């Protein structure tokens, strides 16, 4: 068997006409060279297909030059967008990114935190949907290079970055009220999550300020998934008085909401107005384009990475919590309520009645 020889730093140095040390320091971002010299090294690296041995370099320097990102579900577009921005920030700082999916299982989150004790990556950005787990908080507090993003884990004293969830829920609901809606439903995720509690608190505050009594039958807690959005519409439209507007605390929920409304032949926004939360890229491509509360996802990633780099460099941000502002983005999924939306017969019952008539005897 022919053994394949990989290019070394010495090979790159000879091809570029510089010393081994210059190549090493240039590739490690610890030496600034003239543009022409740097270009020669870059060309030599590409031509020789040189790949640094990160494992060996990490053992020697006590570093891996990699950051870790733990997310609950890589299929959720919010986490995909966040991961992309975290990778950009990490790369700009000279680090690669290792992405871990916990698959929304707390036991896997605990395992990943346990493994981090042996430093497979230099630092960890951690997102979870298990906010109230005591074991989780203990494992997180045992880390010295970790930042919690997006959702809180109570009793932890590590740096955290959240958005102004309460303000977002308030602004979304107030806009619907200003448009004339009074029957406003709210679809959201699990009750134990910070984002769920705070966005719902904003929804309730807007109703309270408008003098509207809270109708708990118009609030549905479940999960941040399209399936939850579909189930919520089915539940709301079984009621005698159907909502004229729906505020969903996630754009991912909106996907299911719009699907279910379409199946019921309920038009948006003519019969029901819809607002989401996140401003993921697909919201402007839907029909109609969806009004939503924009989270600054790029800034969330950037602040998280820079806090983590500070921790890795010995700068303490113990128990620091940073809140980022949100913004209501108005598109075409909201209008004034039409008179016919106050009808007593729900579209679910009407649709099912019509289907029964078509069944064979």
Instruction: Give, for 225, the enclosing helix (H) or strand (E).
Output: none
With CA atoms as reference, report the closest residue to 289 among 297, 278, 299, 281: 281
What percent of the chain lies above the pLDDT cut of 70? 89
- pLDDT 10s digits, 233-257: 999 999 888 999 999 999 999 999 9
Cα–chain-centroid distance for residue 308?
18
Q: What confidence tier does 21 reach under pLDDT thresholds 50, 70, 90?
A: confident
For range 136-163, the mean pLDDT: 96
What percent of the chain lies above the pLDDT cut of 90? 73
How far is residue 254 from each of residues 88, 163, 224, 286, 299, measured CA to CA in Å? 28, 20, 10, 10, 23
Least confident of 42-51, 197-206, 334-343, 350-359: 350-359
Q: What confidence tier does 32 reach under pLDDT thresholds 50, 70, 90?
A: confident
- Whether cis (ω within 30° of 0) applies to the bond prior to 351 is no
How far is residue 185 from each of residues 182, 203, 215, 273, 312, measured CA to CA in Å? 9, 10, 9, 10, 44
| Beta-carbon contacts of residue 100 (< 8 Å; ≥ 6 apart) | 68, 69, 70, 71, 112
pLDDT value at position 29? 67
CB 39 within 8 A of CB 26: no
Pairing of strands 123-126, 160-163: unpaired
For range 159-186, the mean pLDDT: 98
pLDDT value at position 302? 97
Q: What confidence tier does 95 reach under pLDDT thresholds 50, 70, 90?
A: very high
Residue 177 and residue 361: Cα distance in Å, rounded? 47
Structure tokens at 64: 């891996």
| Cα dihedral 116→121→124→125 (10° resolution) | -140
Q: Kindly tell me if the per-residue pLDDT of 79 is higher than 50.
A: yes
Q: Kindly tell me if the per-residue pLDDT of 222 is higher than 50.
A: yes
The DSSP symbol for 340 reads G
Q: Kindly tell me if the per-residue pLDDT of 324 is higher than 80.
A: yes
- pLDDT 10s digits, 292-318: 999 999 999 999 999 999 999 999 899
With CA atoms as reference, report the closest residue to 353 among 184, 212, 238, 210: 238
Can you list the domains of the chain with their CATH numbers?
9-52 (no CATH), 64-163+297-324 (3.40.50.2300), 165-295+328-347 (3.40.50.2300)
Q: Kindly tell me if the per-residue pLDDT of 164 is higher than 80.
A: yes
Q: Kindly tell me if the per-residue pLDDT of 339 is higher than 90.
A: no
The pTM of the full predicted model, rounded to 2 decimals, is 0.80
pLDDT value at position 360? 40
Q: Kindly tell me if the per-residue pLDDT of 356 is higher than 50.
A: no
Residue 76 and residue 174: Cα distance in Å, rounded? 28
Structure tokens at 33: 């060279």
Q: What confidence tier does 31 reach under pLDDT thresholds 50, 70, 90?
A: confident
Average pLDDT, the chain: 89
CB 9 within 8 A of CB 44: no
Q: Kindly tell me if the per-residue pLDDT of 343 is higher than 70.
A: no
């Amino acid at each position: 068997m022919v053994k394949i020889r990989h290019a070394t730093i010495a090979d790159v140095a000879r091809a570029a006409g510089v010393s081994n040390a210059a190549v090493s320091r240039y590739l490690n971002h610890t030496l600034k060279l003239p543009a022409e010299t740097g270009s020669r090294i870059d060309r030599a690296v590409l031509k020789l297909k040189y790949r640094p041995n990160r494992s060996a370099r990490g053992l020697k320097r006590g570093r891996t030059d990699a950051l870790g990102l733990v997310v609950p579900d890589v299929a959720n577009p919010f986490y995909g967008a966040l991961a992309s921005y975290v990778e950009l920030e990490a790369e700009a700082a000279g680090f690669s990114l290792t992405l871990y999916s916990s698959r929304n299982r707390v036991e896997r989150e605990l395992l990943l935190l346990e493994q981090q004790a042996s430093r497979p990556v230099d630092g960890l950005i951690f997102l979870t949907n298990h906010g109230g787990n005591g074991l989780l908080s203990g494992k997180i507090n045992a880390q010295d290079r970790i930042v919690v993003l997006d959702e809180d884990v109570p009793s932890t004293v590590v740096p955290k970055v959240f958005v102004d969830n309460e303000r977002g829920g308030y602004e979304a609901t107030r806009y619907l009220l200003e448009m004339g809606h009074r029957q406003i439903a709210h679809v959201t995720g699990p009750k134990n999550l910070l984002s769920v509690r705070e966005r719902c608190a904003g929804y309730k505050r807007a109703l309270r300020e408008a003098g509207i009594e809270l109708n708990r039958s118009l609030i549905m807690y479940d999960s941040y998934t399209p399936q939850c959005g579909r189930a919520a519409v089915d539940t709301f439209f079984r009621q005698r008085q159907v909502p004229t507007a729906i505020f969903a605390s996630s754009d991912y929920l909106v996907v299911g909401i719009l699907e279910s409304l379409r199946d019921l032949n309920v038009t948006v926004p003519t019969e029901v107005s819809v607002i989401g939360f996140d401003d993921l890229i697909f919201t402007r491509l839907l029909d109609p384009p969806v009004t939503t509360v924009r989270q600054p996802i790029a800034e969330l990633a950037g602040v998280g990475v820079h806090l983590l780099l500070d921790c890795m460099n010995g700068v303490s941000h113990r128990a620091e919590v940073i809140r980022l502002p949100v913004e209501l983005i108005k598109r075409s999924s909201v209008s004034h309520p039409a008179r016919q939306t106050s009808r007593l017969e729900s579209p679910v019952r009407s649709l099912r009645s019509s289907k029964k008539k078509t069944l064979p005897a």
